[in-house]
């Protein structure tokens, strides 16, 4: 029987991992199944652009995996049973169950509501295509002078606010920040960010926590009412409770606890990559939920899976951040270099050059997803015998 690898999720982490596994392992030994709820690869880093009305091309996953041997199952994951090594799903074909020998859990994250009243009922977000399209429709219906409040001063909040302000100068855009805008940036980069907000006419409410969202306003912790025909919630991410409910060991965040190779610390047949993995970086701190982390963790997970299945020594790939890249609309951006402890260095790159660099990163990621067999080795690696793999497990 072939070794069954099931990949849950086809975002940046899952899609890259599935293509890499198919590229490097012999199809005579393995079968790879990818489970994803939607038929397209969604470039999450572009969803704030989609919300403004920009037309984005979405690649069909069926086309992405065509000719790779990867099987695509369009369904939503409803449960994982690591004891039986099965996954339950539901989709257009009804309910089903998939058995696996190795599971790569890459279901990503969604917006974190933090229990704030009104967020679920009235706020919008850009963490998924359906939610971005819902926001797109709402923004299209706003007339001149309409008010939009973006809640959250992280990368998503900054990129969303600046994209909206550039694309819809007829609207009044504001951002609510719990602390100081761009506090983690170097002084020069922080000034660049503030100049961009001033140029785009974005109002910033610093040191302002939002404690309630209503249909036409948000209420700050001090009772201040901030007008908002549309509130966009970008105050962090949360993972789905499926992992915790399955019996896998998880952190307080609900993320799957993994070792240095992205292998579950409680179930050795399960690996995690992307936002759902509670992985420790080279600086001894948990990796943040981000696209960069999806890249680090999927490369480490696939390298470990391939090595253990082929009886090779398990390598360790880098888990070190080099910087934050922040779009400020289509013609401006900031690239902030960081040190080992993810503290901003004095040097940064800004303006059109940084914007072109960010555009290149996005295009490169999209191209990589669309060409999963690029650089395919002439001879794929065969699986080791059971005794060989047992020896590797004992040494790991």
Question: What is the average pLDDT across 151-168?
Answer: 96
Mean pLDDT score of the chain = 92
Burial of 94 (0-12, 13-18, 19+ CB in 10 A): exposed
CATH number of the domain located at residue range(s) 3-109+239-320+378-395 in this protein: 3.50.50.60
pLDDT tens column, 95-114: 999 999 999 999 999 999 99
Q: Is the pLDDT of residue 396 over 80?
A: no
Report the candidate in 297, 315, 295 with the shortest Cα–Cα distance to residue 306.
Answer: 315
Alpha helices in the chain (DSSP H): 12-24, 47-51, 61-64, 119-122, 129-140, 155-167, 187-200, 242-246, 291-310, 352-370, 386-395
Q: Is the pLDDT of residue 226 over 60?
A: yes
Asked whether this chain's domains 3-109+239-320+378-395 and 112-181+188-233 adopt the same fold, the reply is yes
Q: Is the pLDDT of residue 22 over 90?
A: yes
Give the model's pLDDT for residue 394. Answer: 44
In angstroms, what CA-CA distances link 310 with 130, 262, 394? 40, 17, 14
Per-residue tokens: 84:
């039986």
Q: How far does Cα 145 stand from its chain's mean position? A: 33
Give the model's pLDDT for residue 381. Answer: 79
CA 180 to CA 177: how far, in whole Å?
Answer: 7
Of the ranges 85-89, 121-125, 161-165, 373-377, which one carries the lowest mean pLDDT score? 373-377
Share of residues in the chain with pLDDT > 70 (%): 95
Report the candidate in 180, 235, 175, 173 with the shortest Cα–Cα distance to residue 207.
Answer: 180
Q: Domain extents for the chain?
A: 3-109+239-320+378-395, 112-181+188-233
CA 361 to CA 355: how far, in whole Å?
Answer: 10
pLDDT tens column, 259-315: 999 999 999 999 999 999 999 988 888 998 888 888 899 999 999 999 999 999 999
Q: Which residue has the higher pLDDT, 292 or 169?
A: 169
Domain 112-181+188-233 fold is: FAD/NAD(P)-binding domain (3.50.50)
Could you tell me how many residues make up the chain? Answer: 396
């Amino acid at each position: 029987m072939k070794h069954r690898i099931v990949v849950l999720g086809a975002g940046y982490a899952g899609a890259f991992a599935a293509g890499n596994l198919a590229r490097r392992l012999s199809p005579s030994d393995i079968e790879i199944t990818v489970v994803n709820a939607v038929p397209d690869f969604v470039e999450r880093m572009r969803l704030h652009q989609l919300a403004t009305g920009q037309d984005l091309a979405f690649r069909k996953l069926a086309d992405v995996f065509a000719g790779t041997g990867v099987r695509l199952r369009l369904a939503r994951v409803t449960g994982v049973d690591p004891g039986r090594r099965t996954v339950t799903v539901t989709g257009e074909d009804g309910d089903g169950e998939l058995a696996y020998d190795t599971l790569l859990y890459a279901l990503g994250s969604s917006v974190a509501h933090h229990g704030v009243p009104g967020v679920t009922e009235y706020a919008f977000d850009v963490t998924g295509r359906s939610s971005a399209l819902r926001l797109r429709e709402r923004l299209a219906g706003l007339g001149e002078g309409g008010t939009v409040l973006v809640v959250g001063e992280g990368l998503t909040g900054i990129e969303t606010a600046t994209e909206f302000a550039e694309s819809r100068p007829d609207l009044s855009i504001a951002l609510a920040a719990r602390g100081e805008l761009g506090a983690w940036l170097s002084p020069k980069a922080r000034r660049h960010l503030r100049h961009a907000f001033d140029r785009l006419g974005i109002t910033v409410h610093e040191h302002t926590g939002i404690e309630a969202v209503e249909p036409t306003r948000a209420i700050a912790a001090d009772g201040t009412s901030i007008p908002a025909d549309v509130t966009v919630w970008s105050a962090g991410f949360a993972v789905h409770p499926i992992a915790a409910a399955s019996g896998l060991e998880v952190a307080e965040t609900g993320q799957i606890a993994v070792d240095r190779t992205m292998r579950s610390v409680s179930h050795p047949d399960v690996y995690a990559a992307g936002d759902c993995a509670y992985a420790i970086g080279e600086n001894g701190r948990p990796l943040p939920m981000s696209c960069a982390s999806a890249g680090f963790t999927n490369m480490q997970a696939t390298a470990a899976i391939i090595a253990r299945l082929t009886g090779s020594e398990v390598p360790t790939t880098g888990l070190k951040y080099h910087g934050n890249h922040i779009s400020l609309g289509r013609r401006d951006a900031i690239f902030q270099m960081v040190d080992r402890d993810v503290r901003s260095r004095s040097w940064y790159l800004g303006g059109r050059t940084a914007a072109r660099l960010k555009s290149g990163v996005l295009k490169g990621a999209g191209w990589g997803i669309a060409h999963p067999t690029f650089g395919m080795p002439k001879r794929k690696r065969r699986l080791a015998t059971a005794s060989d793999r047992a020896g590797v497990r004992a040494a790991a």
